[in-house]
Structure 1
Amino acid sequence: MTATPRLLDVFAGLTAADPDAVVLYDAHAGQAPARPVTRRQLRDLAAGMAEDLRAHGVGTGDCVAVWLPNWSHTVAVQFAALAVGAHVIGINTRYNVDEVAHVLRMARPRAVVAAHGFLNLDLRAILHAAHEAAATAAPVCLVTTAPGTPGAAPEEVASYDVGGGASAFPRASGGGELRPCPEPGLATAFTTSGSTGHPKLAAHRELGLGEHLLAAAGRIGLGPGHVVLGALPLSGVFGFVAAMAAVVSGAAVVLEPVFDAGGVLTDVVRHRVTHVIGADDLIGRLERAWRDHPVPLPWQWIGIADFEGRSRQLAEWAEREFGTTVAGVYGSSELFALTAFWPRHYAPELRWTGGGQVVTDSIEVRVADPATEEVVPDGAEGEMQFRGPNVVDAYLGDPAVAGEVFTRDGWFRSGDLGRLVAPGTVQYLCRIGDVLRLRGFLVDPSEIEARLAAHPGVAMTKVVGVPGRGGGTIAVAFVVPYGPTPPAEDELRQWCAQTLAKFKVPSRIRLIDEMPTTSGTNGTKIRAAALRELALAEGI
């Protein structure tokens, strides 16, 4: 069996081969030319950060909370943590006091790396309030500023001290080798996107991370000469895996700390971005900006997740306009993003849906009855369950969670409904909690949503199930209309009835001005629970 390469060794090999190759661009949403960062510069920055972490007592088994936007510093901190044997937990710069306090309470970081002066956010005040609410040991706060800008003044740095000290970061000059810690342990952790309660903090070991990044990059075909758009937050699993897979494969990443669609498109053209990985909300914003100023885009491959029901429409646009290959993807904080995606040879009707072929034979997938854990026949619907190096290794602050998410024979319960298409290849249908039981039949709401979205008067749609007056579940569709004349409910019901079985036609269709959404580290998702509450409140 071939040993999994250590990530720092992989990056060291790339740096030795071509130290002056650009690996990152610190971009500004098209406002100014991006700041290029070479492999040598990234190595030196990370080496200095590692030296600084050691000086502050950060070592094997410790956690470093990284509260930064998409800067080259964010990638460097991950490498620095690997060098000292620590693991990283990302904190989104949009998090409020309660969310930051939860991360501090569960992860108990030895150090917090904070972005001073970013978008005039008062991270200092949030950190003080969050530390007080968390009531945990005080971390040292390491204060950094945007790449290429002056550091914070000493009094500004000192104001971040919550009891564990505060220091400008990095203080060390860097340079020299960046060696991996002799004993690989946990490397990185992500908050899960649970819809109720506080999120879990899913942590992964370095060897599993390394194997997954290299496998995903290899399956996509990333390498020197390719450029990946890093527009999703690196604090989330989607943005992190896409960017890090590019870095360790020899590709470059355009890092966007803020998202302005028009400016990002300028950067896409300027830096010849070849690969985009994101949800349909992100791709959709780029598509709308492109329609305002159409230009040829150099996109070769798009990996898309369906959060808003627009994947098919956007895939058709990208493939028609630019000859881009678009593939639906699958993953999560607990399984890594890009656990699976569709190879190019699949027909668009399947390739544009969620799921795909797992990126390495080391990942096993099966579909089982979620109640009995009995494996179902190929093609039958059930819970997608996984086993392999991509699966979560620990839950920070709550180790008992592992007993709830694994089957008795050691498979991870994804909570996702799907079907096995071929060995190692699955089609994602929906979250098990979102599946509809209509007149005794299990129905994937996305089937109804796809039909509604095909109507020219529909901009966005979401279908939820609520209890009917006569018992059982009824399907209620919420629609954001498109165009000057909104379609009537009867028109949309008749549209659905043309291709859907009678029991799948929504009992009610409600027109609304906009969808209730929540912005997470992986993109914007429609809040299905809020729509169910609205349907119940209105007596639909």
Structure 2
Amino acid sequence: MTDDVLSSRGGGGMTDAPAVPPHPVSAFPAPVETPRDLPDLLGRLVRRDPERIAVLDKGPDGATIPVTRGELWRRTAALAEELRTAGIGAGDCVAVWLPNWSDSLAWQFAVAARGAHVIGVNTRYNVEEVAHVLDRARPALVALAHDFHGLDLLGRLRDAVAKAAAPAPAVAVVAGPGREAPDPAAFDVGGGSWVPGEIADPPEVPVSDPDGLAVAFTTSGSTGMPKLAAHKAAGVLAHAAADAAAIGMSDGEHVLCALPLSGVFGYNTAMAALAAGATCVFHPAFDADVVLDDMAALGVTHVVGGDDLVLRLAEAWKARPRDLPAWRWWGVADFQGRSRELAVWARDAFGTSTSGVYGSSELFALTSFWPHDEPEPGRWAGGGRVVHPGIRVRVADPVSEEPLPPGQEGELQFRGPNVVDAYLGDDAAAARAFTSDGWFHSGDLGTLVDDGVFAYVCRMGDALRLRGFLVDPSEIEMRLAAHPGVHTAKVVGIAGADGATVAVGFVVPDEGRAPSAAELRAWCADGLARFKVPDMIYVIDEMPTTSGTNGRKIRAATLREWATTRSENHA
């Protein structure tokens, strides 16, 4: 099952079905023609206008470096030839350990041109995580960022190679935009090393098979070491075209790409932008003030990111406001329970329209969201309409797997080109991930609204059964977060003295505020049914979080451990 769901969560709890729109949900526009293969996603843009800007990179001094479509295509062609010389071919894996540089796109397209596939590696990954990727994906080559943000990626790679059972890969050292290439000799970890160079007249980029694997993403690994969910190029292309049309991106617009391309959220956003002919505004390291300045100066039109990312933007904006009149759309995933208030802020300050999105590493990000004409606040919740008719969704009883009618809660299950095609190094994972009749287990609770339209409730494991009623913890979290002294809230369930589940709240207060547990429980009682009021609320300095490729998420498992320990200490 997927364990890194990307979704904005709706309120309303689970004692009743989530709110269902009282009107038909609009269909999305038909996607543009799908490119013939993954390199052609860029190639057709080059044929249309090679001088138009494809990417805005960040140089080492923070300066913006424009990269034209033609330049990115020439880099891709040269790299594809170098990969051929290096022996990279059909079925091989290349690990791309790079931040959000235009080089990351060149590597994706060039590797696909060789019939090979990419596994993205987060620059935050530790030695154990990298060793796990080496053992599962067995990359023949690692594209390694040189001197990025003071990180010793080479040292981590050496230690990971020593720990892993897989053969040592070759290393291609990538200097990054505006940087000098180093001597590659120091980067040999046992398989050789080289620096991608310039080829004056590279051959044409070969046509590749869209039915071959193209890219893999690590899942969040909250239930153990991450799985490596791989997708075919055909799925990437169909999804990119559908996302671009559904979101409403168009040629010449600017799309913020602040989430790592090694994760599905950042990757699908960039691919949709390219499919639309828009410009990717890359940020290899997130600084809220720098991002806001770029959004204002460049006229960024579209943002995709979690409420954790936009919360940082909102706080920086309140300290130093900027006018962002071009910001039209925000696709939000709710990681910290702040999406609704931030949607109001973006709407009131800039006229931004916000839609809750749904997806995961195994299903792609932006698998669904609510159309722009869906009324607020329902449009801010998770779920929505799938972005193209090839994606099918049903709701099934988690035990019997029998399909359920609209309005009844069950597990969301999917079929279509967006669904994971393989798990690198773990063939048995696919058997566990699918039903006997071929539907993918999402592990998420939701309800079917209409054909291709669903409402996301929560992760099945996060649902709380309180006094016999199923409750979505986000409903309680949003009530807590609405308190004027609360910055962030999270609610988990633990076994009470009688064995029944009790709700426990954790709150990080706003700076200079210190609401008491009694005050917060009274606040909840004023706005929630009595059985939803947390039995205990703890005010803490900060939430335990994990920083993944798709955003910073609160570690609910750690909070459950804390809640259990504190409960036992007070028994």
Q: For structure 1, which segment, 44-53 or 449-458, has the greater mean C-alpha deviation from structure 2 after superposition? A: 449-458
The Cα of 1:268 is off from its aligned counterpart by: 1.3
Find the partner of 2:360 among 310, 332, 335: 332
What whole-Å deviation, never above 9, does each CA across 1:142-170 have from its counterpart, x for those lacking one?
111012222112xxx11221221101124
Q: 1:222 maps to what in 2?
A: 249
Q: For structure 1, which segment, 453-462 or 322-331, has the greater mean C-alpha deviation from structure 2 after superposition? A: 453-462
Q: 1:481 maps to what in 2?
A: 509
The Cα of 1:173 is off from its aligned counterpart by: 4.2
CA distance in 2, matches of 1:176, 1:86: 18
Q: 1:14 maps to what in 2?
A: 45
Asked if the contact 1:28/1:256 (under 8 Å) is kept, the reply is no
Q: 2:130 maps to what in 1?
A: 100
Asked if the contact 1:230/1:255 (under 8 Å) is kept, the reply is yes
The Cα of 1:494 is off from its aligned counterpart by: 2.1
Q: 1:166 maps to what in 2?
A: 193
SS of corresponding position for 2:119: strand
User: Mapping of 1:57-206 within 5 angstroms?
Assistant: 57-153=87-183, 157-170=184-197, 172-173=199-200, 175=202, 177-182=204-209, 184-206=211-233
CA distance in 2, matches of 1:440, 1:428: 21
Find the partner of 2:416 among 385, 388, 404: 388
Asked if the contact 1:28/1:257 (under 8 Å) is kept, the reply is no
What whole-Å deviation, never above 9, does each CA across 1:185-224 have from its counterpart, x for those lacking one?
0000000013121000000001111101111111111121
The Cα of 1:47 is off from its aligned counterpart by: 0.7
Amino acid at match of 2:246: R
Runs of 5+ unmatched residues, structure 2: 1-32
Amino acid at match of 1:214: A
CA distance in 2, matches of 1:419, 1:22: 42
Q: 2:271 maps to what in 1?
A: 244
SS of corresponding position for 1:14: helix
CA distance in 2, matches of 1:290, 1:485: 21
Q: 2:382 maps to what in 1?
A: 354
SS of corresponding position for 1:150: coil
Q: 2:18 maps to what in 1?
A: none
Asked if the contact 1:367/1:384 (under 8 Å) is kept, the reply is yes
Amino acid at match of 2:510: Y
CA distance in 2, matches of 1:382, 1:444: 13
Find the partner of 1:521 among 542, 549, 552: 549
What whole-Å deviation, never above 9, does each CA across 1:102-141 have from its counterpart, x for those lacking one?
0000000011000111122222221111111112122111
CA distance in 1, matches of 2:528, 2:158: 55
CA distance in 1, matches of 2:115, 2:269: 23
Q: 1:283 maps to what in 2?
A: 310
SS of corresponding position for 2:187: coil
Q: For structure 1, which segment, 487-496 or 413-422, has the greater mean C-alpha deviation from structure 2 after superposition? A: 487-496
Q: For structure 1, which segment, 17-26 or 163-172, has the greater mean C-alpha deviation from structure 2 after superposition? A: 163-172
SS of corresponding position for 1:419: strand
User: Is 1:44 the counterpart of 2:71 in the alignment?
Assistant: no
What whole-Å deviation, never above 9, does each CA across 1:235-270 have from its counterpart, x for those lacking one?
000001101111122000111111111111111122
Structure possessing the higher relative contact order (Cα contacts under 8 Å, 6 or more residues apart): 2
Runs of 5+ unmatched residues, structure 1: none
**TM-score (structure 1 length as normaliser):** 0.96
Find the partner of 1:232 among 259, 270, 275: 259
Q: For structure 1, which segment, 196-205 or 350-359, has the greater mean C-alpha deviation from structure 2 after superposition? A: 350-359
CA distance in 1, matches of 2:432, 2:75: 40
CA distance in 2, matches of 1:201, 1:182: 21
User: Is 1:509 the counterpart of 2:533 in the alignment?
Assistant: no
Q: 1:268 maps to what in 2?
A: 295
The Cα of 1:492 is off from its aligned counterpart by: 1.8
Asked if the contact 1:327/1:343 (under 8 Å) is kept, the reply is yes
Amino acid at match of 2:119: I
Asked if the contact 2:59/2:179 (under 8 Å) is kept, the reply is no
CA distance in 1, matches of 2:260, 2:209: 30
CA distance in 1, matches of 2:559, 2:98: 33
Change in 2 beyond 3 A, CA 1:17/1:4: closer
Q: How many residues align?
A: 535
Change in 2 beyond 3 A, CA 1:306/1:423: same
The Cα of 1:430 is off from its aligned counterpart by: 1.1
Asked if the contact 2:93/2:140 (under 8 Å) is kept, the reply is yes
Sequence identity of aligned pairs in percent?
A: 56
Q: For structure 1, which segment, 46-55 or 3-12, has the greater mean C-alpha deviation from structure 2 after superposition? A: 3-12
SS of corresponding position for 1:228: strand
Amino acid at match of 2:158: H
The Cα of 1:171 is off from its aligned counterpart by: 5.1
Amino acid at match of 1:327: S
CA-based RMSD of the aligned residues comes to: 1.5
